[in-house]
Amino acid sequence: MILFSEFTALKTIASCQIIRVRTRSSHIRALLDLVSEGNFGYAQGMNKDFICNNKYTEEVFSKLLLLRTSHMWEKIKGVIGKEYGVAWLRFLQNHENEP
């Protein structure tokens, strides 16, 4: 199952050249995939070392929320809590009643 498919890192055009569609997508998509697969060690530092920009935090959190039905949800919450601290806890609190 591909949860983060709209994060397209590269786009092929007719002349077979590759251009960047969203420069941040490759990092964010890779990190979201690592978390969704339970590869938390590789995703460690995602906030400060890879994404490095708070303007994407809400979007990252929204995508991570798609994993709430995962059997690893409690672990995911803990790992992301270490990465983002209170911002993650507030986000979870504000979205706890969403389906």
User: Per-residue confidence at 7, pLDDT binned at 50, 70, 90?
Assistant: low
What span, in angstroms and rounded, lies between the C-alpha atoms of 83 and 5?
A: 23
pLDDT digits over 31-54, tens only?
Answer: 888 999 999 998 888 888 878 888
What span, in angstroms and rounded, lies between the C-alpha atoms of 46 and 30?
10
pLDDT, tens digit (0-9, with 9 covering 90-100), for 13-29: 444 444 444 444 567 88
CA 29 → CA 14, 20, 22, distances in Å? Answer: 24, 14, 11
Q: What is the pTM of this model?
A: 0.73
Instruction: State pLDDT tens for residues 50-89.
Output: 788 888 899 899 999 999 999 999 999 999 999 999 999 9
Confidence of residue 2 (pLDDT cuts 50, 70, 90): low
